[in-house]
Structure 1
Amino acid sequence: MIRRLTLSQRLTLVFTAILLLCAAAACGVQLYSSSQYGNAMVQRLSAGLAQQIVRSEPLLDGGGQVNRQTLKTLFDRLMTLNPSVELYLISPEGQLLADAAPPGHLKRQRVDIAPLQTFLAGSVWPVYGDDPRSLDKQKVFSVAPIRLDGELRGYLYIILQGEELNALADAAWQKALWSALLWTLLLVALFGLLAGMLVWFWVTRPVKQLTADVSGLEQDSISAIKQLALQPPEPQPGNEVAVLRNTFIELARKIACQWDQLADSDRQRREFIANISHDLRTPLTSLLGYLETLSMKAETLSPEDNRQYLAIALRQGHKVRHLSQQLFELARLEHGGIKPQLERFAIGELIQDVAQKFDLTIETRQLHLQVDMPHSLPLINADVSMIERVVTNLLDNAVRHTPQGGTIRLRVWQENTQLQVEVADSGPGVEAAMREQLFQRPSALSQKASREARGGLGLLIVRRMLELHGGGIRLMDAASGACFRFFVPL
């Protein structure tokens, strides 16, 4: 039942229960305090009543004996003058010797002497003693010792709140109790209403507003998340609800940003597939065309034409194979299929070995390769084959795009805890439109000439390999040509 209640209903129920408990406790404490105060005042005002009666009235005869009939008449007369008291004569041991109680009203014939001695010792009032007309009740009293020739013969024991007074007090208390209960309920209702309004304003209303903001996530999640992300957060949240609202807004902004990134990644993937399909279709169409020509006109073609067509078909086949290998390698890199096998080695020796691969091409095209590398470089912890692939790809690009007689610069240096490598050429450089998409998947929207100018997926593979090592690559600004700089941690 309670689980089905709303937050407002639960808070209202809790506050009402707390107010009722507080009101009941306050009423109980007030009634107890009032009773204690009244009893103390009655006992204080009538503390000397028993002593005065002992002094003024003969309670024992000349022989020190108790005349019950005489004492009953005396007690009746005194109780008529003060109907709120009840008089008893008790022995030093607490045994009742005389009383004026109607027949059948006495419930016990003995009272405890200890409270009487406490009263006579001057203890703090109220002091309660046994009520002879009840089996378990105790009441305030007045007591005085009765002595004859200095010897204790008994006590005059006066109950200050007798049966008649108790009956009148009970009726008055019932009326007062119902009045207090009524006023308590009114105050509980008033303060409960006030507390409910404050709770609604400070707690329930912000929670309901936050619930309304996030309630649309199930029906139309992304639009609701973006709407929530557009809301301004509290500049200085002062309570948990405001902090929770700011947390939801921040979470919605992160989800919206990730959603946009996923949407952009999906768009790039579709464009990448379209572009790769085009790049594969072009050499495949050429390959099939030349093969069909050779198949249909093999007898009519000259040997020179046969060799030319076969060379073109073979070249297009190599293109398809190379692009397919790059696609396969990129897919394995991006999906964790390839893990770097780390080992410590000298990158200077690796760069010298890679540069020697291009000696013939550089000499044929009359290029100038300048290597700037200090003699003492620290060893790096990386995958040798991957770093070799990175350097090879960058040098190959530089060689292919540097005009005859141009210059290629390769520089290596240590910067803090990183090893920096820079490959620059004196070629035409990278077009401004291509700079932002250089390390991204090729887009079907980019110009064909630009795509062909920069080649396949080499830079994507290079970037991914460096990322697996905790490094990175970027295109630097240069006065002429292209300048690529990558780093790997030591």
Structure 2
Amino acid sequence: MKFKSLYSRIALTFAVLILLFGGMCGGLDFFAAKRHQQEIVQRLSQDLAKHIADHWPLVKANHLDTATIGELFHMLMVVNPSIEMYLLDKDGVIKAHQAPPGRVQLTQVRLEPIRAFLANQPLPLLGDNPRNPEQASVFSAAALQQGGIPVGFLYIILTGDAYQQQAEHVWGGHIFQSAIWISLGALLLTLLVGLGVFAAITRRLDALTCTVAAFEEADFVGGLHVCPKITASSDEIGILARTFERMAERIGNQMQLIKHQDELRREMIADVSHDLRTPLTSLQGYLETVLRKADDLPLVERQRYLSVAVRQSRRVSLLADELFELAKLECEATRPNCETFFIQELAQDVLQKFQLAAETKAVNMNTVWPNELTSVYADIAMIERVLTNLLDNALRHTPAHGTITVTVEPGLHLVKLRIADTGEGISPPQLAGLFDRHSPLRQNASKKHGGGGLGLLICKRIVQLHGSKITANSRLGHGTAF
């Protein structure tokens, strides 16, 4: 079974932690209970060895009376079968005991625990068990002296073989078994409750995951419909759900915008293909005619054909330049290289470029701006491109003896630049979509004037890059103002 879901991983981790925690607590409880039991036994019999040494002569003539204490040891062990008594010399060597032959496996016990016991160190203290060297036991001890001279020790093991046998039966008894089953039941109940709580928590996450997956399968269209109970929650899952909803709304809007832009791009490609097909077809036709009839065509006719071909090639070149410029402006990496300059000086320079064409067409070009120069912060090359496009359009659409006026109106934070002409004007339906890619005026401009008809789109994009906007007002027969 593969644990891939969040709930299965949490459940497995929680179960392992519960088992580890339960085992650790059980081990600690067992150890603490055993130490507590040893402490109680040692405290209850702490003065047993001293009491026997005070009331029974164990030393005679500065020597241990090993011959006469056998009867004492036997009597005391009959009275209390759990104890085992040993008589030690001052080096800890066992001099007397009351055990069957071969049962005592040590000939000497360590004196460090005995000295700690006599010094009243904290209990329990464990010493050597001569019958079972591998298992230290609690004990009672008393120093044996005569005339202030240390002779040996009375060493009593308080948990002897009989005690250990009874203790083993206790661990397997009803009370201990009941405690084990109660502990296991408590662990199991804790595990089940924890798994139930985790299931309730992860159920909302599962629902949110399924909702996001459905949103993805729908190509990020239609919004993210999360259960209101999840979004109404004030915890982290509710916050996450509400964040996902806002994110899905933005993604949906962006997908719609991308699709819309893609449709516009497809329309643009179709329009450009149509615009290119006409001049290219004309160019190809005239060139083929010149090529086939090179020997029969008069010189004047040949020059006319070549002039038309050159004009069509220029139209294709202009359209390609405008497309490249518009694509570069629509790139997200394009940013204006802004600097401070005087807008009147730039406008005057652009007007001078059209002065000769205006005089040839008998069009007046006027300026209306304050005597003091007005500084602006913008990309001078981009703004020059805007002025060039707008003045070129105005000059093409203004009849003889008409007027083009460039007005500069300084404001508090912005400068309004107005280019107005007295040309033919634009009808309201055409004015509404003037700056769109599919504007009818774009196709008309391409057909009439040989350009790509993308000048206004380029102007709009440049102005947008500067954080501003461009608008147009017009009346048929009264001209247009940008």
**TM-score, normalisation: structure 1:** 0.78
Query: Would you say 1:29 and 2:22 are equivalent positions?
Result: no
The equivalent position to 1:348 in structure 2, one of 320, 338, 344, is 344
Measure the CA separation in 2 of the matches of 1:355 and 1:162.
Answer: 119
Partner of 1:122: 120
Task: Say if 1:349 and 1:26 are closer, same or farther in 2 by CA, change over 3 A.
Answer: same
**TM superposition shift of 1:6:** 2.9
CA gap 1:251/1:379 in 2 versus in 1, 3 angstroms:
closer
Using the TM superposition, give the Cα deviation of residue 34 of structure 1 relative to its aligned residue in structure 2, in angstroms.
Answer: 1.5
Q: Distance in 2 between matches of 1:169 and 1:474?
A: 98
Instruction: State the number of aligned residues.
Output: 469
Closer, same or farther: CA 76–224 of 1 in aligned 2, 3 Å? farther
Determine the C-alpha separation between the residues in 1 that align with 2:115 and 2:400.
Answer: 128
Task: Provide the C-alpha distance between the structure 2 equivalents of 1:283 and 1:109, rounded to a whole number of angstroms.
Answer: 121
After superposition, where does 1:211-360 map in structure 2 within 5 Å? 211-216=209-214, 221=216, 223-229=218-224, 231=226, 234=231, 238-239=235-236, 241-279=237-275, 318=311, 321-322=314-315, 325-335=318-328, 347-359=343-355
What is the Cα deviation at residue 253 of structure 1?
3.1
Find the counterpart in structure 1 of residue 454 from structure 2. 457
Aligned AA (1:330): L
Give the SS at the match of 1:412: strand
Shift of 1:81: 0.6
| 2:267 partner amino acid | E
User: Are 2:337 and 2:378, in contact at CA under 8 Å, matched by a contact in 1?
Assistant: no
Secondary structure (helix, strand or coil) at the match of 1:261 reads helix
Aligned residues: percent identity? 34
Task: List per-residue Cα deviations over 1:276-308 (Å, max 9, x = no partner).
Answer: 45555667788999999999xxxxxxxxxx99x
**Which amino acid in 1 is paired with 2:145?**
R
Partner Cα separation in structure 2 for residue 253 and residue 340 of structure 1: 31
CA distance in 1, matches of 2:150, 2:437: 117
| 1:459, distance to aligned residue in structure 2 (A) | 0.9
Q: 1:107 aligns with which of 94, 102, 105?
A: 105
Structure 1 vs Structure 2 CA RMSD: 4.4
Contact 1:330 1:460 in 2 (8 A): no
Distance 1:56 1:476 in 2: 125
The equivalences for 1:63-462 within 5 A come to 63-175=61-173, 178-202=177-201, 204-216=202-214, 221=216, 223-229=218-224, 231=226, 234=231, 238-239=235-236, 241-279=237-275, 318=311, 321-322=314-315, 325-335=318-328, 347-359=343-355, 362=358, 364=361, 367=364, 369-378=366-375, 382=379, 384=381, 386-402=382-398, 407-412=403-408, 420-426=416-422, 430-435=426-431, 437-442=433-438, 456-462=453-459
Greater shift in the superposed pair: 50-59 or 475-484: 475-484
CA distance in structure 1 between the aligned counterparts of 2:335 and 2:98, rounded to whole angstroms: 109
8 Å CA contact 2:343, 2:373 repeated in 1: no
> After the TM superposition, which of the residue ranges 124-133 and 274-283 deviates more from structure 2?
274-283
SS state at 1:70 partner = coil
Measure, in 1, the Cα distance between the counterparts of 2:246 and 2:422: 47
Instruction: Verify: 1:45 aligned to 2:44, yes or no.
Output: yes
Tell me the equivalent position of 2:296: none
What is the aligned partner in structure 2 of residue 60 from structure 1? 59
Q: Contact 1:272–1:443 (CA<8 Å) still a contact in 2?
A: no
Distance 2:349 2:53 in 1: 130
Q: Which amino acid aligns with 1:41?
A: I
User: Deviation at 1:379?
Assistant: 7.6
SS of the aligned residue for 1:475 comes to: coil
Equivalents in 2 of 1:101, 1:431: separation in Å?
Answer: 127
427-436 or 110-119: bigger deviation:
427-436
Alignment CA distance shift 1:341-1:109 (3 Å)? closer
Q: Aligned AA for 1:223? A: A
Q: How far apart are residue 5 of structure 1 and its match?
A: 4.0
Separation in structure 2 between the aligned mates of residue 432 and residue 192 of structure 1, nearest angstrom: 75
Q: Do the aligned partners of 2:442 and 2:454 also contact (CA within 8 Å) in 1?
A: no
- What is the Cα deviation at residue 466 of structure 1? 5.2
Counterpart in the other structure of 1:302: none
Structure 2 residue runs of 5 or longer lacking an equivalent are 292-299
Shift in CA distance, 224/238, structure 1 to aligned 2, threshold 3 Å: farther
Label 1:137 to 1:438 Cα distance change in 2 as closer, same or farther (>3 A). same
Deviation string for 1:36-88 (max 9, x for gaps)?
A: 22222212221222222223333234x34444353222211111111111111
Query: Once structures 1 and 2 are overlaid, which stretch shifts more, 33-42 or 143-152?
Result: 143-152
The 3 A distance-change label for structure 1 pair 286 and 107 is closer
- Choose 158-167 or 228-237, whichever is displaced more: 228-237
Question: Could you tell me how far apart the structure 2 residues matched to 1:291 and 1:110 are?
Answer: 126
Q: Distance in 2 between matches of 1:316 and 1:418?
A: 46
Between the aligned partners of 1:10 and 1:389, the Cα distance in structure 2 is 63
Question: Aligned pair in 2 of structure 1 residues 103, 481: CA closer, same or farther (>3 Å)?
Answer: farther
Could you tell me which amino acid in structure 2 is paired with residue 421 of structure 1? L
What secondary structure is seen at the aligned counterpart in 1 of 2:151? Answer: strand
Gaps of 5+ in 1: 296-305, 485-490
397-406 vs 449-458, which moves further: 449-458
In 2 relative to 1, CA 103–426 (structure 1 residues): closer, same or farther, beyond 3 Å? farther
Q: Distance in 1 between matches of 2:421 and 2:474?
A: 10
Hey, what's the Cα distance between the residues in 1 that align with 2:135 and 2:250? 73
Q: Deviations over 1:93-129 (max 9, x none)?
A: 2121211122222121222222222222223222222
C-alpha distance in structure 1 between counterparts of 2:411 and 2:19, whole Å: 73
Query: Within 2, Cα distance between the matches of 1:339 and 1:154?
Result: 101
The whole-number CA distance in structure 1 between the counterparts of 2:133 and 2:75 is 26
Q: SS at the partner of 2:102?
A: coil
The Cα of 1:374 is off from its aligned counterpart by: 4.4
Which string of whole-angstrom CA distances, capped at 9 and with x for unpartnered residues, describes residues 369-412 of structure 1?
2331544344867464x544321221232334456666533123
TM-score normalised to the size of structure 2?
0.79
